[in-house]
């Protein structure tokens, strides 16, 4: 996503640690009492492998669709704490910066993404595996390789 607001030289998006996100999801709100919503910034075929329970998924076929989807849905975040997430923390940081630029308050990125969440927590609140692009296909909460839920569409998509 090439967007002026997503330049690293302009600073990072606020982040939340995996342990803090897990605690917020456990208690049902952030430390200020606001409802916490998770926003998956990955592509649709990645989300199909696994996601946080109750996550918002805009069925993006590619990350460059994120700005338009955000403009269409940004009012849904009023009064809530939004935690964007992705596999390793790159796309979700760009998304969080863009959300702030669009005037959305209380936006965080999940520090280190799903893989760091798996590494530092027990994986509770995440259902399924996490698609990875390094040949292991999908990883479970214990970071061991798991079988893809939808292998053909993913493999086909990666060939395009």
Closest to 137 measured CA to CA, from 60, 23, 48: 48
Active site residues: 86
Strand order in the sheet with 145-146: 130-131, 138-139, 145-146
pLDDT score for 1 = 45
Query: What does residue 12 show for φ and ψ, rounded to 5 degrees?
Result: -100, 160
How confident is the prediction along the chain (160 residues), in pLDDT tens digits per residue?
455 555 556 678 899 999 999 999 999 999 999 999 999 999 999 999 999 999 999 999 999 999 999 999 999 999 999 999 999 999 999 999 999 999 999 999 999 999 999 999 999 999 999 998 877 789 999 998 988 877 655 555 554 4
CB 45 within 8 A of CB 150: yes
Three-state secondary structure of 35-68: CEEEEECCCHHHHCCEEECCCEECCCCCHHHHHH
CATH of 4-128, one of 3.40.250.10, 3.40.190.10, 3.40.50.2000, 3.40.50.1370: 3.40.250.10
For CA atoms 86, 90, 94, 99, give the dihedral sign.
positive
Closest to 110 measured CA to CA, from 39, 49, 46, 30: 39
Which residues on adjacent β-strands are paired with residue 109? 15, 84
CA atoms of 43 and 49, how far apart (whole Å): 11
CA atoms of 17 and 112, how far apart (whole Å): 8
Written as six digits, the tokens of 146 are 């798991």
Domain boundaries, the chain: 4-128
* Residue position matching structure tokens 């999908």: 138
């Amino acid at each position: 996503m090439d967007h002026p607001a997503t330049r690293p030289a302009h600073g990072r998006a606020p982040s939340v640690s995996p342990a803090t996100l897990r605690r917020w999801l456990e208690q049902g709100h952030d430390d200020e009492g606001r409802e916490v919503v998770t926003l998956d910034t990955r592509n649709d075929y990645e989300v199909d492998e696994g996601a946080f329970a109750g996550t918002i998924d805009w069925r993006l076929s590619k990350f460059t669709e994120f700005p338009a989807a955000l403009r269409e849905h940004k009012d849904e975040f009023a009064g809530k704490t939004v935690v964007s997430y992705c596999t390793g923390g790159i796309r979700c940081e760009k998304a969080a910066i863009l959300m702030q630029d669009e005037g959305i308050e209380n936006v965080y990125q999940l520090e280190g993404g799903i893989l760091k969440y798996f590494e530092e927590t027990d994986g509770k609140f995440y259902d399924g595996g996490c698609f990875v692009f390094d040949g292991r296909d999908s990883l479970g909460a214990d970071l061991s390789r798991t079988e893809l839920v939808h292998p053909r569409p993913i493999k086909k998509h990666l060939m395009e």
